[in-house]
Structure 1
Amino acid sequence: DTDGIFQLETSGLTDLMKKLKPSRFEDIIASIALYRPGPMALMDDFVARRHGRQPITYDHPKLEPILKDTYGICIYQEQVMRMASDLAGYSMGQADILRKAMGKKKPEVMAQQRSQFVAGCVKNGIDEKKANELFDMIARFAGYAFNLSHSAAYAMVTYQTAWLKTHYPVEFLAAILSVEKEKSEKVSRYIAEAKRKGIEILPPDVNESDLDFTVVGGKIRFGLGAIKNVGESAISSILEARNARGPFTSLSDFCQRVDTGKVNRKVIECLIRSGAFDSLKLRRAQLWEMLDSALSRGQARKKERESGQLSLFGEEQIETHDPIPEVEEWGLTERLTAEKELLGFYVTGHPLDRYAEEIALHATATTDALERHGDGESVTLGGMITALKEKTTSQGKRMAFFTLEDLYGSTEIVVFSEVLETCIELLRERRGIVVVTGKVQYRNESLDIVAERIVPLEEAHRRRNVWLHLQLDHETMTRERIGALKETLAAHPGAFPVSLHIVRPGHSETIVRLPERFHVTPSDAFREEMIRFLGKQNLQFRPAESGVW
């Protein structure tokens, strides 16, 4: 649970914390100092000594008080300086010169320092051979030792952010989302973290959102400043108008009260498409149709304000509403695509929501829990392709990388040439849902999946012999509704088998497998029609017992 925690967000440091299980502030300080090139090699020893699995040893009794807090391992520059002082009688100024010399490793300077160090050790009762060994040991550590005060300062912020996230998770995530609002990848990451914690993310709202993310009744309200193409000058105009005369009552009211020079057509279009006007209880398609008229009124009002005409009546007494057009709402896919484009994530739903049960028939893992699987472990994921990059290897073979997004996050899939040949067109089309089987791979502190097989969801269903079950209530299935159902099935011909599950409440249930002429292609359009016709709960995908994926 380290998302948003200062210094601990990388998978490597998160893994170190899981192994270390710090119980004191000093452990956090040491972890931050250790997690850098060089001292990383000592992390396993540090963890083992922390938990008593490896003995803590010292090359000389005088080193124990210096290295005791770090389990006998030299981590800090201050420890290097104190070893020089306590063992060889260096002043702190001389010890700092030694530290710098060991960091630069200049032969002539190191030779001079060795001579001084050994002489000082001998003077303090340490024999010459042991003194040389101690100098070599200190030189090894000094090359990468970190400044204790810096690490302690970082650790303090680490502790403070962890404390805030633990005790005030909603406020903490709202604050960090506000800080990172211009970085869509980080916004998506923290939104996913909020959802994992059961914190609801409310969409942007012209009547409630501020510039930044805010806490509203234990939930996080999306900030207007995180909507793409909506600048701070436009937001200032919106907030100023809202603070002056209260919530906006209609799109026309909004356009007449804000400065349409700052809140222009492009800004309002982005507000509509992102759902920021949804609290007006109109469809987004209706608002889109009303925009021309509302903008005309707003621009006319702006001219009146500039000419001083409004002073005759008082602006607060003038309110005009446009007629509401009867138009169908945009499709779910169109609405969600706009949210993703403008907000960086899906707010009012997810394109995969309707596929969740189907993906679960095949998936053995989800992207948010891949770190629970070991290197080389086989997993199956289901989701959609959101990015694709192809390249040619040094051997002249084609390979590809793509991002697979599921309901819980995303991960990178690596596709080598043998697998790529079987699915290149599927990847390039980026349409529909795919099922990926592959092996977990850890490299360079990151995790990805090396694909072994990639197929469309429909193909995965076919391999497992999955059928589409339509549940019907016998009492409501009139001859007309049955005819309409047959027409809908016939309008989407394909190879996917369909069965009817006819229920007579309190009497019987009958399953009828339809003939091949009623097999369908379960496209988004087909699903939307069937959901409207029967309801989502009556549209189910079930595998036959003999099917194998």
Structure 2
Amino acid sequence: MGAVKGLGHGAVMTIIENRKDGPYKSIFDMAKRIDLRAANKKSFEALALSGGFDGLGGENRAQFFYEFENGQIFLEQVVKYAQKFQENENSAQVSLFGEASDVQIPEPQLPICEDWGTMEKLKREKEVVGIYISGHPLDDYKKEMKFFCNANLAAMKDLTPLVNRELTFCGVITEARHMMSKANKPWGMFTMEDYEETYEFRMFGEDYLKFRHFLIPNTFLHAKVKIQQGWIDKNTGKPRDPRILFTAMSQLQDVMSQAAKKLTIELHVSEVLEERIELLKETLDKHQGDHRLYFNLKDHEEKISLDMSARLQKVNVTAELLEVLDQNEITYGVG
């Protein structure tokens, strides 16, 4: 917890110490038990953003930051509730017979609201922790990365071996800037991030004019580039660093529908059973469309591979269809 931005040492220690008396049952239970002089509203916000309250009764993190008509957010109500509870516990409201007061303080009602989107949740998580914990922004696009990318951002670190090659890669734009050169020509720079690397691109001339509308933070981007030899240095006569020429860009969520042309179902002869075939038929019938459908039948023992096309049926290749195929352990390829 000490790595969470906004969560001081005192807050960490009081949470740990009071946890020794038993697991926290809810956010209210924790707030009542810890030292609120050490853990303030900012501490609660940091815990909520990092996922610290995910298992303590809330349905989503957005609930903790729900703003009421009076301008208060829910976490403020939690802290004030706990403060009143502790004041009541510590007060001298004791009867002549030494019995504690029975004043009851009701817990605030957890508001009902929609959760943040995946990108918003992970962005806020990274702001306080420095890394993604509960997932990665690209988790929803693993199939697009598998079938429609031939490189990742790590490849951009050394472009010399890639001269004259065409690369396709994807990532999320974390930062973008639009500027004017001294010659009064527009250009831009943007930072992309994938699972392994972060890379800063610069875009000039026609490339920038053609694709600048994609350069927006939190955009999931699929890009095609060609690596060209660098300009010749007049002083040395040698080429400078290779250049990146952008040839196409699209939002990652559109790639499957735009780039998919066919679906190939791979079957081993041992899988050609009536029940298995019926399941496959029902699945494909529910996802009819315009993409070509192929079957690849294999027999590893006989070293036979037979390709067949479905002349009477086409499918709609979507992430939903591929998810169903995955769930039923059906091997496939997308092209």
TM-score by length of 1: 0.41
> Equivalents in 2 of 1:271, 1:248: separation in Å?
14
User: Mapping of 1:40-439 within 5 angstroms?
Assistant: 224-243=1-20, 245-280=21-56, 283-285=59-61, 288=64, 294-307=78-91, 331-371=117-157, 373-374=159-160, 377=163, 378=165, 379-428=167-216, 430-439=218-227
Please tell me the root mean square deviation across aligned C-alpha atoms, in Å.
4.9
Query: Offset at 1:323?
Result: 8.8
What amino acid is the match of 1:238? I
Query: Offset at 1:300?
Result: 2.1
> Equivalents in 2 of 1:281, 1:470: separation in Å?
43
SS in 1 for 2:18: helix
Equivalent residues of 2:175, 2:216 under 8 A apart: no
Bigger fraction of residues in strand: 2
Over 3 Å counting, the alpha-carbon distance change for 1:422 and 1:328 in structure 2 is closer
Equivalent residues of 1:384, 1:406 under 8 A apart: yes
Query: Offset at 1:434?
Result: 2.0
User: Mapping of 1:512-523 within 5 angstroms?
Assistant: 512-514=313-315
> Equivalents in 2 of 1:384, 1:270: separation in Å?
24
Query: Offset at 1:428?
Result: 3.3
What amino acid is the match of 1:512? Q
Equivalent residues of 2:122, 2:136 under 8 A apart: yes
Bigger fraction of residues in helix: 1
> Equivalents in 2 of 1:270, 1:440: separation in Å?
46
> Equivalents in 2 of 1:272, 1:458: separation in Å?
29
Over 3 Å counting, the alpha-carbon distance change for 1:302 and 1:403 in structure 2 is same
**Greater Rg over alpha carbons, structure:** 1
> Equivalents in 2 of 1:543, 1:366: separation in Å?
19
> Equivalents in 1 of 2:290, 2:242: separation in Å?
35
SS in 1 for 2:2: helix
Q: Share of identical aligned residues, percent? A: 24
SS in 2 for 1:225: coil
Query: Offset at 1:532?
Result: 12
Query: Offset at 1:419?
Result: 0.6
> Equivalents in 1 of 2:321, 2:122: separation in Å?
17
**Alignment length, in residue pairs?**
283
Over 3 Å counting, the alpha-carbon distance change for 1:233 and 1:501 in structure 2 is farther
Note the residue ranges of structure 2 that are not aligned, 5 or more in a row: 67-73, 231-240, 267-275, 296-308
> Equivalents in 2 of 1:411, 1:295: separation in Å?
41
- Matched with 1:450 is 244
* Relative contact order, higher structure (CA 8 A, sep 6+): 2
Note the residue ranges of structure 1 that are not aligned, 5 or more in a row: 1-223, 490-495, 503-508, 545-549
- Matched with 2:306 is none
Over 3 Å counting, the alpha-carbon distance change for 1:436 and 1:278 in structure 2 is same
Query: Offset at 1:335?
Result: 3.2
> Equivalents in 2 of 1:282, 1:473: separation in Å?
43
> Equivalents in 1 of 2:30, 2:248: separation in Å?
49
SS in 2 for 1:278: coil
SS in 1 for 2:15: helix
